[in-house]
């Protein structure tokens, strides 16, 4: 039996040019670019990678992770391998750190928490340079009621209204440990609007589109198209409320990923 070696690799990327994480035929994806690069720098080795989860098209990450499994020959010098890896990746993907792990590690089940941040502005149209990192809502928003409503998502709730395809066997009860909207003080550049905001949300795991649909509901609330009462009802098991708006992917960032 061939010996295998296991590594946890931390990575960050700007997702604006990519059709999400998962490899897809005919599409540029983060996983596809990592595989292409690894085939080039590990030409004579068998390997596979496993992601910690999927990100949607245009979604970015400051602290994502994937597992690399190589056969027969281990990585001899980690620091040198990181340098070679980064030298051959495009400018919008960067390897941060590589750690040895054992074969008992499960990159999906051992996830402890994920923190997402959704950056947005509203009103005037943004400078074009903002497009990869910040959603721009052209309508005016009642940001105060949005800030008030964000806390309603904290706790354990039924989130069937916040996923595109609930399905009979899908676990839609999820726990969110924190959810707040506050003024953006982190990302700064002279082309950014004078005032912008960020939704910060943290939990053990999220369904596809869940964070973007929470942001979508808050935007609808800010536009006066949903009420606080409807937000509360949308989190109940017998709700018939549908969230018709998925916020754009380009404002969303996987900010932090922690494992058990």
Closest CA to 58 of 259, 197, 246: 246
Mean pLDDT over residues 14-40, rounded? 95
Q: Is 219 left (phi over 0), alpha (psi -120 to 50) or beta?
A: alpha
> What per-residue string of b and e applies to 88-108 under the rule 16 or more CB within 10 Å gives b?
ebeebbbbeebeebeeebebe
List, for residues 237-250, the tens digit of each pLDDT value: 889 998 999 999 99
Residue 188's CB is within 10 A of a number of other CB atoms, namely 8
Beta bridge partners of 180: 200
SS3 7: strand
Identify the pLDDT of residue 72.
Answer: 87
Phi, psi of 120 (to 5 degrees): -155, 160
pLDDT score of 80 more than 80: yes
Whole-structure pTM value: 0.94
Phi, psi of 150 (to 5 degrees): -55, -35
List, for residues 119-163, the tens digit of each pLDDT value: 999 999 999 999 999 999 999 999 999 999 999 999 999 999 998
Alpha carbon distances (Å) from 250 to 4, 17, 57, 256:
37, 10, 8, 17
pLDDT score of 168 more than 70: no
Mean pLDDT over residues 76-103, rounded? 96
Judge residue 159's burial from the number of C-beta atoms within 10 Å of its C-beta, 0-12 exposed, 13-18 middle, 19 or more buried: buried
**Who contacts 163 (Cβ-Cβ below 8 Å, separation ≥6)?**
170, 172, 207, 208, 209, 210, 213
């Amino acid at each position: 039996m061939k010996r295998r070696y296991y590594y946890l690799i931390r990575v960050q990327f700007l997702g604006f040019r990519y059709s999400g994480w998962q490899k897809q035929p005919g599409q540029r994806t983060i996983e596809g670019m990592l595989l292409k690069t690894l085939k080039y720098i590990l030409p004579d080795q068998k390997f596979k990678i496993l992601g910690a989860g999927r990100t949607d098209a245009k979604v970015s990450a400051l602290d994502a992770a994937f597992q690399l499994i190589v056969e027969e020959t281990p990585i001899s010098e980690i620091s040198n391998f990181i340098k070679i890896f980064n030298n051959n990746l495009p400018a919008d993907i960067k390897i941060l750190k590589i750690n040895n792990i054992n074969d008992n590690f499960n990159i999906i089940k051992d996830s402890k928490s994920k923190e997402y941040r959704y950056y947005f502005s509203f009103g005037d149209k943004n400078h074009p340079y903002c497009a990869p990192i910040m959603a721009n809502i052209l309508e005016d928003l009642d940001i105060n009621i949005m800030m008030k409503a964000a806390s309603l998502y904290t706790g354990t709730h039924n989130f069937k209204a916040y996923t595109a395809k609930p399905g009979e066997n899908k676990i839609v009860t999820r726990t969110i440990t924190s959810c707040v909207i506050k003024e953006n003080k982190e990302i700064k550049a002279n082309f950014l609007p004078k005032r912008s905001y960020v939704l910060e949300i943290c939990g053990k795991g999220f369904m596809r589109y869940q964070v973007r649909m929470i942001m979508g509901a808050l935007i609808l609330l800010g536009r006066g198209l949903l009420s606080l009462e409807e937000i509360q009802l949308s989190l109940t098991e017998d709700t018939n409320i549908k969230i018709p708006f998925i916020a754009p992917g380009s404002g969303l960032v996987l900010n932090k990923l922690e494992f058990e």
